[in-house]
Chains A and B, each alone.
Chain A
């Protein structure tokens, strides 16, 4: 008779952790998109810098930043473990290809979409988060994030990378949002339609808001 000691090793627990961390990271996306969308006020970045400075200096939020990084790491490590385990479960691939008849390609590609987003996050944090925290640590002052945005988004190829990452994020969310609820056992005919609708809308709107930032800055629409 097995006991409940297997909780931390079971495939279901790993998926529950994936769902919980995924939903947690979605709350981060909402805050991040919300604060950064202040640039669209087109007030020379004043409102945005106020918001960003609050997020960057408030002690409570700084503590939560650690929780965020831990949550992200957990999502990444758990994702790698799950993907590896899943690949091992089918040592010989099929010769005939017909999976598009029963499932969407992006639902079958969460690992690779996640990897693309991770690669982007390394570039993205090297652009803003790391230099800013470094400056705070060494000089005690934040860098001019708005000016840096304008500078970085003046390069077409960087804008291309950011837009590409937003597309990957969109597909990742398109499956991940509703999948998280299913992994947590939250499947009910009464609530499924709203989960599906909100998930679909969020995975379009959120990446679109993000993508509009580099695009509008590149074309000089934000001054």
Chain B
């Protein structure tokens, strides 16, 4: 073991599939370099398990550079582990000490069922997006960008909201498994810009409706989502969604029969 390398105890949630009950299982890993990312450490463990003819641990990952939102993991009681503004792939083993016990769990929410081990089904987010996370544009050649004056401040706010990578850490962090930070970011990024105006009210109504249908909890304004979001999405978005939703509910007209709306 080279200097600074660590031996660790891992307590990991193992679950065969969506319909069987899971449990925490302990594993030992040795000679872990502090320069490894957390996912590389799990790769090392999986290599060991494969060599012992055991089932490797299933976990989500893709880009491993903090932009895709695929990696999850609730590590030592926090989404994406210790530290702020990072995804799990950006978490490095130098954040831990030799001899530490690390608890690794999947995101916990009724709306995010565990598929296997640490992998959860986040398609609830996709269904929310499908309900209103779009704009309508005419096809044909693109118009000149300067045709649409957008104040710098609005553009910045919309961009900040659009930084959401849909990882679900907000849901995992929330005591109520609420998806309000995610939904509010998606509603905000479009409602702040002129391109998002035609569907503005219907978007807020439909996305919130789908969020409730999926079984997410409601927002207690604890701020845990904002604190754990790897992209620093602000709960100002949640206040904006509350406004957008209230105004839309009070003013959106019922579609007329035979008007082409359905």
Contact = CB atoms under 8 A, between A and B. Distances in A.
Interface of A: 1-4, 6-7, 9-16, 82, 85-86, 88-99, 101-104, 107-108, 110, 175, 178-179, 182-187, 189
A95 B183 CA distance: 27
A108 to B, nearest CB: 4
B117 interface: no
Given A11-B219, A103-B223, A175-B222, 17 more contacts: A1-B261, A3-B252, A12-B246, A15-B218, A92-B108, A95-B105, A96-B103, A99-B77, A101-B77, A101-B82, A101-B227, A103-B227, A108-B224, A182-B221, A182-B238, A184-B242, A186-B239
Main secondary structure of the interface of A (DSSP, over half): loop
A222 B45 CA distance: 70
A96 B249 contact: no
Contacts, number: 165
B111 A89 contact: yes
Interface in B123-179: 173, 175-178
Contact of A10 (B78, B212, B222): B212
Contact of A4 (B11, B108, B218, B249): B249
Interface in B237-253: 238-243, 245-246, 248-250, 252
A184 B247 CA distance: 11
Nearest to B209: A2
B262 interface: yes
B254 interface: yes
Contacts of A182: 221, 235, 238-239, 242
Given A95-B24, A95-B103, A95-B105, A108 B241 contact: no
Interface of B: 11, 13, 24, 74-78, 82, 103, 105, 108-111, 173, 175-178, 202, 205-206, 208-209, 211-212, 215-224, 227-228, 235-236, 238-243, 245-246, 248-250, 252, 254-255, 261-262
A94 B108 contact: yes
A99 to B, nearest CB: 7
Contact of B109 (A13, A90, A96, A185): A90
Given A6-B209, A94-B77, A96-B105, A15 B242 contact: yes
Contacts of A86: 175-178, 217-218, 220
B108 A3 contact: no
Given A1-B202, A85-B218, A101-B227, A91 B176 contact: no
A93 to B, nearest CB: 7
B105 A102 contact: no
A154 B139 CA distance: 80
Contacts of A88: 110, 215, 217
Contact of A103 (B75, B178, B222, B254): B222
Contacts of B206: 1-2
- Indicate the member of A10, A13, A96, A189 with the most B CB atoms within 10 Å: A96
A91 B217 contact: no
B160 to A, nearest CB: 13
A121 to B, nearest CB: 22
Contacts of B105: 94-96
30 contacts: A3-B255, A4-B205, A6-B212, A7-B250, A12-B245, A15-B219, A16-B246, A82-B218, A86-B177, A88-B215, A89-B109, A89-B177, A90-B108, A90-B175, A91-B110, A94-B105, A94-B108, A95-B103, A96-B78, A99-B77, A101-B78, A102-B222, A107-B220, A108-B175, A108-B220, A108-B222, A110-B220, A178-B221, A186-B239, A189-B236
